[in-house]
């Protein structure tokens, strides 16, 4: 099974750029084109939040018009730049198959891996949040099948990654979430976005991974002073659930670079 993960698309209205400079619609188009040409094709695409720049209806509609060109199913969850109600208005019923208690929480159970979408947003806040209701929903959902290999996908990573977006903006209810996650041994990975950098760490008996943005890369400042981005080529993650039942994660730039060359002397 192959899962492509793209994140933090920050789509603005047609003809504009995120922060006046980042060509995110063009980047998303390049990503979609690249994914459609992959052999073998991903079974599905997960978008891990910050679909829009400002949570506006025209931004969600613009994003949907670009994503609808994907030749495989795609699924979205909200990020802190999105608006839950607006996201549902555009994507509800398809790219968000269902909701639970007003949150964009749902399960995709049609594949070899079980995929659980968890809404980690809190209106008006940049940081993440898992409240009692969402923790209880997750616990109940995980307990329904504690054996099948499972992925959770949510926008905010639930621990400090050494960058402003996690260490200062924070995550309300991280301990509550941890209390649920550590009860289950079948969670292969928690796939996140938000920090605009690819990173991985061990957490509560599983792995937490973050995906790159499609072109707005965070300037890594481990002194937590600079909150800036650079414009890079769009990139995404490809998660391969192998025949040996290992989840292998690859990082891809959409730009193919020079080559390909065989591993023989080219001089
Ligand atoms: Fe973002
Ligand atoms: Fe975010």
Domain count, the chain: 1
Structure confidence at residue 11 (pLDDT) = 98
Q: Is residue 63 part of a domain?
A: yes
Ligand lying closest to the C-alpha of residue 214:
1
In a domain, 258, yes or no: no
pLDDT digits (tens, 9 = 90+) for 34-59: 999 999 999 999 999 999 999 999 99
Is 107 within a domain?
A: yes
Residue 42: which domain range? Answer: 2-253
Ligand 1 centroid, distance to 16 Cα (angstroms): 17
Task: Determine contact, residues 155/192, Cβ cutoff 8 Å.
Answer: yes
- In the predicted model, is pLDDT for residue 75 greater than 90? yes
Residue 266, domain member (yes or no): no
Distance (Å) from CA 140 to ligand 2 centroid = 27
Q: How far is 194 from 197, CA to CA, in rounded Å?
A: 8
Ligand 2 centroid, distance to 260 Cα (angstroms): 35
**Cα 214 to middle of ligand 1, angstroms:** 10
Rg of the chain (C-alpha set): 18
Tell me what pLDDT residue 256 has: 85
**Mean pLDDT, the chain, whole residue set:** 97
Compute, in angstroms, the gap from residue 101 CA to the centroid of ligand 2. 22
Planar angle of CA 47, 119, 18, nearest 5 degrees: 50
DSSP state of 53: S
List the shell of residues around ion ligand 2, using CB closer than 5 Å.
Answer: 50, 79-80, 194
């Amino acid at each position: 099974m192959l899962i492509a993960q793209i994140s933090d698309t920050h789509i603005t209205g047609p003809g504009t750029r995120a922060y006046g400079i980042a060509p995110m619609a063009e980047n998303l188009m390049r990503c979609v084109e690249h994914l459609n040409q992959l052999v073998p094709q991903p079974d599905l695409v997960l978008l891990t939040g910050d679909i829009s720049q400002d949570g506006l209806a025209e931004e969600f509609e613009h994003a949907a018009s670009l994503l609808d060109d994907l030749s495989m199913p795609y699924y979205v969850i909200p990020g802190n730049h999105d608006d839950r109600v607006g996201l549902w208005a555009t994507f509800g019923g398809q790219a968000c198959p269902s909701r639970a208690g007003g949150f964009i929480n749902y399960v995709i159970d049609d594949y070899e891996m079980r995929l659980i979408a968890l809404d980690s947003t809190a209106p008006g806040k940049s940081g993440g949040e898992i409240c009692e209701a969402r923790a209880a929903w997750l616990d109940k959902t995980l307990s329904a099948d504690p054996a099948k290999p499972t992925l959770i996908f949510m926008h905010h990573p639930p621990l400090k990654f050494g960058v402003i977006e996690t260490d200062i903006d924070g995550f309300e209810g991280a301990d509550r979430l941890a209390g649920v996650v550590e009860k289950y041994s079948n969670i292969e990975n928690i796939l996140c976005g938000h920090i605009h950098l690819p990173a991985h760490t061990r957490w509560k008996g599983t792995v937490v991974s973050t995906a790159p943005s499609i072109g707005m890369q965070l300037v890594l400042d481990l002194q937590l002073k600079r909150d800036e981005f650079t414009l890079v080529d769009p990139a995404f993650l490809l998660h391969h659930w192998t025949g040996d039942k290992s989840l292998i994660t690859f990082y891809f730039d959409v730009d193919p670079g020079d080559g390909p060359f065989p591993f023989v002397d080219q001089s």
